[in-house]
Chain A
Amino acid sequence: MRVLAIHPEKCTGCLRCELACSYVQTGEFQPAKSVIRVSPFEGHTSYAPYTCTQCAEGWCMTACPVGAITINAAGAKDVLDDRCVGCKLCTIACPYGTMFYDPGTRKAFKCNLCGGAPACAEACPTAAITYEETWTGDWLGDFAHERTARILEIR
């Protein structure tokens, strides 16, 4: 499948991806409702974006008691709004913290790969997010390794 690949060394922390995501997902510019989040590392000196990896296990989907999470055409786990009862179980089940809850709508929400045209990848000016065919959705291992190496170097 195609997944969002993150290249943290390219990220400048401009937060364009958050803006684009919130616009496509809500129709307004509201990074608080974005489902991609850019986190700082090494104090404030580097940044990397982070969103649902569409993990193979699909913990959120398994946890949902009413079957409100399905897999959409793009291969993304997607929340069906009219079925979600807002119990938040999925937010607890997701080990990556990429399942969100909107107190306004009382529904869970997450990355749905924008139905196959990810706005974040399109908006990123440095290609720190790319939409790629890969052998695994799990890019976190390399990511963590790279970060740790950098921290050790600086200290």
Chain B
Amino acid sequence: MTPVTANAPKPSKTKKAPEPAVALPGGYAGKLLRVDLTTRKCWAEPWGSRMRELLGGAGLGAMLLYRETAKRGGKGNVAWDDPDNRLVLATGPLAGLPVWGTGGLTVCTIGAGTNGPTSTQANGFFGTNLKYSGWDAIVVQGQARDWVYLYINDDTVELRDAKFLVGKDTWETQDALCRVTGLAGHQLSVYSIGPAGEHLVRFAAIQGDYGHVASKNGTGAVMGKKRLKAVAIVRGTKALRAVDPRGVLQAADDIAHDLRTDPSARSLYEYGTLPGVGNLSKLGVLPIRNYTTNLTANVPGADMADWEAPRLRANFDHRGHQCNACGMHHCHMSVIQKGAHKGRIVDEPEYEGWSGCGWQIGAVDRDGIAWLATECDRACVDVNEFGWITGWVMECMEKGYITRAQLGFDLTWGDIPGAGRLLRMISRREGFGAVLAEGVKRAAEQLGSPAKDCAVYIVKGATPRGHDHRGRWDEMLDTCTSSTATMETGNPVHPTEVGQPARINIFDGVQVAKNVAGLAGRRSFEDSLGICIFTTRTRLENVCRALGAATGWTFTVDEAIRFGRRTAAINRATALRCGHAGALEYPSVRYGSTPVDGPAKGQAVRDQWETMLDTWYAEVGYDRKTGKPWPKTLKALGLDWLARDLWGKKA
């Protein structure tokens, strides 16, 4: 296969006005890399005039999806598997700069889970290598005839034959590409799909740099459909300029100080998400055996002392494995010390791995869970949805709703080798795995009640993160109303900075809904900067200061929040075009059920759901009936053009 190399701007055949020459703000590389897999063409697109409006990451991706995925000459949106779907792999203005955790990747696409828009993040060194190569984002369209991978080395951009990579898992793919290029470690950042992406599993993820996953809404299936096996970016040689480099370093120091000392960030700084298991179990938010209990004592062999963060980490031979410029003690590479997988190198599971491959499926063998969670990453399966589907199958087998004849073997609570077997069946669509590969919602609907009523999902087709949201209503509401198939607003960080109360009654639906609406905006802003949301757990003011020093703009907290809400409104417009109406914003029977025991026992979210939706809609300024943001909401955000698109000329 002849490689295609393109570094000059594509000669424009359209009548579109050329990008005006503007002085580039600091922090940006200045170009988007466009890749058309059908025609095998790659070209550069300058975008300087739109940077302040779109920033990067989630903001840039939302606009690209809205502008470029409408069905040609008709109503509606292209589906996730249409060659016209876009796969946006974007970073942002802070990526590559010395603020902690600045290797960020945001994936925006029409995802296979909900068949609607997605914004999902990973870190590592993607953003760093991309920026130092001279690019702010990659926009992929079309569909390759044969498997290819995208190779980027500064201005050299090539679509290369990937036949030799097919069938390899994501770690093997990165190993192989390191061998081919002769590079090692962070000299080459690789984001790829494993067998699950190749087989179009609806909850396939994109995994990179040994342990970082853009996991939500089947982005890996989109990559698989496009026959793009991997993106490999050599650590570039170009320079990044900050308008005020001292200012960037000062803001970085202040942020680092907050992360080290602020009580709400400090445990993350020391142990990443490991303390989540212990802490959330005390709130009834740790999912145990597919939402059938909230008592850790109901899992045989569970000893909560083993789950305290220092002991959990010390169970393995471990080494820090941080993302770009990051001083957290979060990501680790571990070696299993005992048992069936002794000597295996694994990525220390996040809280989500301990819950999805552990508690949710009734397992507490820490070595086994670490192995299984890493196998999920390697197969490129979203660890959350894997947990929901595996726990569901286990419960259904126990109750006789799924039989041994159907599945091919017995799968009982806590059976890690069995779960590993299920993972292989799902990622290769073998036997009953083909049903499960469609994701929790579709599999549950195919089997119907009573099996269906045991499944945890959002009617839209997504699944929650690794919690029991019956004790965390804010996240349930956020996940169900979101236009991106996962949380859109996110957890409160310094809520008083944006006028929200420091504490609310978490089981008062109205307070919860007002809070979710009132906090909207921050998350989409953070996800547009090329930085990790854990290293932005500081006052937004500090993040804005870092952005200002990098770019040279005076960027206020107000502008940040407005920016985030604009991004959410644009995603909402795309979601509506994809047919996501209000009827889909409900938890499944089990997801919205009432806990039978534990700290949240008896708290019935479903009783308050309609009130919560009414309140949320009124507070964000969207129309409950049609789902559209009101014209006055859009105009207040400076989105007059979108108001006209959604409501017609009179708006």
Contact = CB atoms under 8 A, between A and B. Distances in A.
A16 B327 contact: yes
B170 to A, nearest CB: 12
Interface stretch (B239-247, B390-398, B586-594): B239-247
20 contacts: A13-B321, A13-B322, A14-B327, A15-B186, A16-B326, A23-B98, A23-B249, A26-B239, A28-B245, A30-B238, A30-B240, A40-B184, A40-B185, A44-B185, A44-B333, A45-B333, A125-B327, A126-B327, A154-B335, A154-B345
Contact of A14 (B174, B175, B184, B326): B326
B381 to A, nearest CB: 21
A39 interface: yes
A14 B102 CA distance: 10
A14 B323 contact: yes
B185 A39 contact: yes
- 9 smallest CB-CB distances across A and B, nearest first, come from A125-B327, A40-B185, A12-B320, A30-B239, A32-B237, A28-B239, A14-B322, A12-B322, A45-B333
Interface in A44-94: 44-47
A31 interface: yes
B461 to A, nearest CB: 35
Chain A interface, >50% SS class? mixed
A56 to B, nearest CB: 30
A46 B239 contact: no
B98 A29 contact: yes
Contacts of B241: 28-29
Nearest to B187: A40
Interface string B436-447: 000000000000
A45 B325 contact: no
Contacts of B174: 44
B224 interface: no
A43 interface: yes
A123 B185 contact: no
B457 interface: no
A38 B184 CA distance: 11
Contact of A15 (B184, B240, B249, B325): B325
Contact of A38 (B97, B185, B329): B185
A32 B98 contact: no
Interface string A130-155: 00000000000000000000000010
Interface centre among B125, B242, B320 (most CB of A within 10 A): B320
Nearest to B100: A125
Nearest to A14: B322
A108 interface: no
B85 interface: no
B291 interface: no
Contact of A31 (B235, B322, B333, B343): B235
Interface in B211-253: 235-242, 245, 249
A129 interface: no
Interface centre among A16, A23, A27, A45 (most CB of B within 10 A): A45
A19 interface: yes
A123 B98 contact: yes
A13 B322 CA distance: 6
Interface centre among A16, A27, A46, A154 (most CB of B within 10 A): A16
Interface of B: 96-98, 100, 125, 128, 132, 174-175, 184-186, 210, 235-242, 245, 249, 256, 319-327, 329, 331, 333, 335, 343, 345
A99 interface: no
A12 B329 CA distance: 9
Given A14-B326, A29-B245, A44-B185, 18 more contacts: A10-B320, A12-B329, A14-B325, A16-B325, A23-B245, A27-B245, A28-B240, A29-B96, A29-B98, A29-B239, A30-B239, A39-B185, A40-B186, A45-B333, A46-B319, A47-B185, A125-B256, A126-B327
B319 A15 contact: no
A20 interface: yes
Contacts of B319: 9, 12, 45-46
Contacts of B345: 43, 45, 154
B516 to A, nearest CB: 34
A64 to B, nearest CB: 26
Given A30-B132, A31-B132, A46-B333, A126 B320 contact: yes
A44 to B, nearest CB: 5
A147 B404 CA distance: 49
A16 B324 CA distance: 7
A14 B324 contact: yes
A73 to B, nearest CB: 24
Contact of A29 (B97, B125, B184, B320): B97
Interface centre among A16, A30, A33, A125 (most CB of B within 10 A): A125
A41 B392 CA distance: 41
Nearest to A45: B333
Contacts of A23: 98, 245, 249
A113 interface: no
A11 interface: yes
A149 to B, nearest CB: 13
Contacts of A32: 132, 235-238
Nearest to B242: A29
A43 B319 CA distance: 13
A136 to B, nearest CB: 27
Contact of A20 (B98, B237, B240): B98
A46 B249 CA distance: 26
Contacts of A13: 185-186, 320-322
A145 to B, nearest CB: 18
Interface centre among A26, A32, A44, A125 (most CB of B within 10 A): A44
Nearest to A22: B239
Contacts of A43: 175, 345
Contacts of A14: 320, 322-327
Contacts of A15: 125, 128, 186, 324-325
A20 B239 CA distance: 13
Nearest to A46: B319
A40 B320 CA distance: 12
A47 B210 CA distance: 14
Nearest to B319: A46
Contacts of B125: 15
A42 B325 CA distance: 21
Nearest to A155: B343
A46 B325 CA distance: 16
Contacts of A10: 320
Nearest to B97: A29
A16 B248 CA distance: 14
Contacts of A12: 319-322, 326, 329, 331
Nearest to B175: A43
Contacts of B184: 39-40, 44
A11 B320 contact: yes
A123 B98 CA distance: 9
B211 to A, nearest CB: 10
